[in-house]
Amino acid sequence: MAEIIKGKGAVPGVAVGTVLVLSTDLDKELAKYAQAAPEVEEKKYYAVQQKVAAELEESVNNAKDKNQKEQLAILEAHQGIILDPVLKAGIVEKIRHHMSAPLAVLKTSEEMAQMFADIEDAYLRERAADIKDVGKKIVHEMLGIGQPDFDRGNLIICGEEIDPCVIADLPDGKVTGVIIGHGSTTSHAVIIAKAKGLPTVVGLGEAVKRLENDTRIVLDANQGTVIINPDESTAENYTEKVKKELELNQYYLSLSELPAVTLDGVGVTLAANIGNPKDIDNALKYGCNGVGLFRTEFVFMGRETLPTEEEQYTAYKYVIEKCGDKLCVIRTMDIGGDKPLPYLNIKKEENPFLGWRAIRICLERTDIFLTQIKAILRAGVYGNAAIMLPMIISLEEILEAKAIIRQAMSELESEGRKYVSQIQIGIMVETPAAALMTPVLAKECDFFSIGTNDLTQYTLAVDRGNPSVSKLYSPYHPAVLNLIDITVHAAHSNNIWVGMCGEMAGDPVASRLLVAMGFDELSMSAPSIPKVKEKVRSITFDKALVTRALSQLNADEVTKLLV
Amino acid sequence: MIQENMVLTNELGLHARPASALTKIALKYKSNVTLQGNGKTVDAKSIIMVMTMGVKGGCPLVVIADGPDELECMAAIQDLVENKFYEE
């Protein structure tokens, strides 16, 4: 019997497949665990330890065959940890004191990880994470959570919450859709799903629990619905739609080589927004002309300690190299109280979006900023990188940041490292303050990039994640458009380039207006590139449209003008 | 019981890979093996404990082996350390 659950479409598209539940709620699983007598628990631990060790052995051999040196080093360390006699002794002692086997493993691995906290060497200090990983691996095995098996393919992954890193690391071509119980349409998991072009439905709430492994479902992210056990005709209908979307996608991919130029010859650079270094591979397929926004938050998230210069360097270098001679704009850390990190120690704030975040943290925690800048400058040697500062509201912030960038250069010089000494430095224009100050800020910038999501929220005082007011959110509001126009003028009268990297840039409805305003670059999630390109190639440059749009009384009137 | 004073000549000291190599050797022998370095004393058969020492390249390391095969064990560890853990 078919059943329909209603949620909210976050990434458009449809998919037909089987459910793969990703459960990450360890506490709940632990609570359900039926504990046996200590002798039985101890035997269970040994059995699982041997099983996981054998699996690791296989992965080690695999990595050796493929000559994956970095993976090999990690896997070998994991192998050593799982068989570690001191870890084992700690676990067994707890079990003999009537603790359940999974809890004993979890506790002991956490205690041992704690011993790494005051090691001076940063690399070794981070091995604490390896010990916790191994502990979790054993616990997952004991609780039967297991590592998800993607091999079957045609899967729709599903969870109350899904870790963004899990979506980032999905194997190619095995997963066709994403369902998230909680979650707004703009969570990080969704942003990555979007970059990967995976149809996504969010906000199913409790109903998400009704989705069990291997259930056949239809995911319609255009309608925001999930159909459980669809009847034959519905399934067929949707399979046909999936096929049509694939064909459309093929068509879009075929546009990748064509230039983004209007019928009357006005060109605009279409760049990609990426979050995970690997996103660049997908973005290049869609014909991106460089990267207009590389969100570096993912380097910082999902971990217990700050990423090292080396780790950041590797991530940035990967993307910069892939961009070749095209520009790769790297935005420095944009984190605040809404995505707290264990090592940042941000106090709970009433208004994290108006709080200690992004450049405000970087200018105080200069250790974090310096490390990131040094990694960017070193990676810049491999291509054409630019630094973009988020959340700017004043000239002083830019000057201070530039002083730190100079300090990073002189440190790299004395360390004898290779780095780029000539690099474009620009800002995100995402606060009304920055937009109004652009005539002044332009003197110290090599470029502007307008972040329309935050600029709209801050200008209209609307939290778009709040369902009671989200209908008031629109970048087409004339107030926002006027700030955008001021920014474009300030850039061009100071001979610097101006781009847009908010979601508006990827909306084909906006293309005619943005081209008319004179944008040099539009940066968007990869799947939007061909759609915007198709639009740009079908229009003419219409300067008069700007004046008309700016003089409208509300967002609705502006959009009417554009469609 | 025998004791040898060594110096780590590899660049990184007892990082994950060198620690893993040393632990693997210690585990092959029946003897108890203890390491002293950076003000800490640990069981050489535990990779976790060896890593928590945080011994850097160029630092001294004391190795103590005690058991029926202590001589062979010490020779194997000495060979590993002198050859910079066979890293490239």
Determine what percent of chain B is predicted with pLDDT higher than 90.
Answer: 69
pLDDT at A160: 83
Q: Which residue of A has its CA nearest to B51?
A: A124
| A215 and A288 part of one domain | no
Distance CA A164, CA A169 (A): 9
| A33 and A12 part of one domain | no
Mean pLDDT of the region A50-73: 81
- In Å, how far is A28's CA from the nearest CA of chain B? 29
- Of the candidates A74, A81, A85, the beta carbon closest to that of B45 is on A85
Among A67-76, A130-139, A283-292, A440-449, the least confident range: A67-76
Mean pLDDT of the region A312-333: 96
Q: What are the chain B neighbours of A115 within 8 Å (beta carbons)?
A: 48, 52
Distance CA A95, CA A89 (A): 10
pLDDT at A165: 66
Mean pLDDT of chain A: 91
Catalytic residue chosen out of the listed positions B5, B9, B10, B15: B15
| A273 and A335 part of one domain | yes
Among A90-94, A163-167, B19-23, the least confident range: A163-167
The pLDDT of residue A386 is above 70: yes
pLDDT tens, residue by residue, A504-544: 999 999 999 999 999 999 999 998 999 999 999 999 999 99
Distance CA A174, CA A154 (A): 6
Q: Which residue of B has its CA nearest to A123?
A: B15
Query: What CATH number does residue A489 fall under?
Result: 3.20.20.60
The domain of A242 spans 3-22+148-251
Q: Do A85 and B46 touch (CB under 8 A)?
A: yes
| A134 and A164 part of one domain | no
pLDDT at A153: 86
Band (A186; pLDDT cuts 50, 70, 90): low
pLDDT at B56: 87
B44: nearest Cα among B13, B79, B12, B14: B14
pLDDT at A146: 62
Domain edges within chain B: 2-86
DSSP A170: P
What are the DSSP E strand ranges found in A232-352? Answer: 269-274, 291-295, 327-331
What are the DSSP E strand ranges found in A230-372? Answer: 269-274, 291-295, 327-331
Predicted TM-score of the model (pTM)? 0.66
Distance CA A173, CA A234 (A): 24
Q: Do B54 and A120 touch (CB under 8 A)?
A: yes
A346 is a domain residue: yes
pLDDT at A65: 83
**CA atoms within a 13 Å half-sphere pointing along the CA-CB vector of A56:** 24
Q: What are the chain B neighbours of A124 within 8 Å (beta carbons)?
A: 14-16, 51-52, 54
Distance CA A78, CA A50 (A): 13
Residue A286 in contact with residue A527, Cβ under 8 Å? yes
| Domain end point (choices A142, A165, A187) | A142
pLDDT tens, residue by residue, A7-37: 999 999 999 999 998 866 677 778 888 899 9
Query: What CATH number does residue A81 fall under?
Result: 1.10.274.10
- In Å, how far is A128's CA from the nearest CA of chain B? 9
Residue A355 in contact with residue A364, Cβ under 8 Å? no
Integer angstrom CA distances of residue A483 from A443, A448, A555: 18, 13, 14
| A83 and A119 part of one domain | yes
Distance CA A545, CA A511 (A): 12
A256 is a domain residue: no
| Domain end point (choices A188, A223, A251) | A251
pLDDT at A147: 67
Q: Do A86 and B46 touch (CB under 8 A)?
A: yes
The pLDDT of residue A388 is above 70: yes
Distance CA A122, CA A109 (A): 19
Q: Which residue of B has its CA nearest to A109?
A: B48
Q: What are the chain A neighbours of B13 within 8 Å (beta carbons)?
A: 121
Count how many domains chain A has.
3
Distance CA A155, CA A178 (A): 9
pLDDT tens, residue by residue, A195-225: 788 999 998 888 888 888 889 999 999 999 9
Distance CA B19, CA A453 (A): 48
What are the DSSP E strand ranges found in A410-495? Answer: 424-429, 447-450
Coil, strand, or helix at residue A275?
Answer: coil
Residue A405 in contact with residue A330, Cβ under 8 Å? no
pLDDT tens, residue by residue, A228-267: 999 999 999 999 999 998 898 889 889 998 999 999 999 9
Q: Does A409 touch chain B (CB under 8 A)?
A: no
| A108 and A163 part of one domain | no
Interface test with A, best of B41, B47, B85 (most A CBs within 10 A): B47
> Any idea which residue has 């202590």 for tokens?
B70
| A431 and A502 part of one domain | yes
Q: Which residue of B has its CA nearest to A85?
A: B46
Per-residue tokens: A239: 């399979």
Q: Known catalytic residue: A182?
A: no
DSSP string, A430-450: -SHHHHHHHHHHGGG-SEEEE
A-facing residues of B in 21-50 (CB < 8 A) are: 23-24, 27, 43, 45-49
Q: Do A116 and B51 touch (CB under 8 A)?
A: yes
Q: Does B10 touch chain A (CB under 8 A)?
A: no
- In Å, how far is B82's CA from the nearest CA of chain A? 21
Q: What are the chain B neighbours of A117 within 8 Å (beta carbons)?
A: none
Is A145 buried (19+), middle (13-18) or exposed (0-12) by CB count in 10 A? middle
Q: What are the chain A neighbours of B49 within 8 Å (beta carbons)?
A: 84, 86
Total CB pairs under 8 A between chain A and B: 58
- Of the candidates B24, B27, B51, the beta carbon closest to that of A124 is on B51
Q: Which residue of B has its CA nearest to A114?
A: B52
Architecture of domain B2-86: 2-Layer Sandwich (3.30)
| Domain end point (choices A127, A142, A157) | A142
Distance CA A472, CA A395 (A): 31
Q: Do B54 and A121 touch (CB under 8 A)?
A: yes
Distance CA A56, CA A41 (A): 22
- Of the candidates B16, B43, B45, the beta carbon closest to that of A77 is on B16
A259 is a domain residue: no
Q: Do A76 and B17 touch (CB under 8 A)?
A: yes
The pLDDT of residue B88 is above 60: no
A257 is a domain residue: no
| A55 and A83 part of one domain | yes
- Of the candidates A73, A86, A112, the beta carbon closest to that of B16 is on A73
The pLDDT of residue A69 is above 90: no
Task: Give the number of residues written for chain A.
Answer: 563
DSSP B33: E
| A413 and A294 part of one domain | yes
Per-residue tokens: A173: 């071509």
| A550 and A509 part of one domain | yes
- Of the candidates B14, B16, B46, the beta carbon closest to that of A84 is on B46
Write out A276-289 in H/E/C secondary structure. Answer: CCCHHHHHHHCCCC
Q: Do B49 and A86 touch (CB under 8 A)?
A: yes
Per-residue tokens: A373: 């800048």
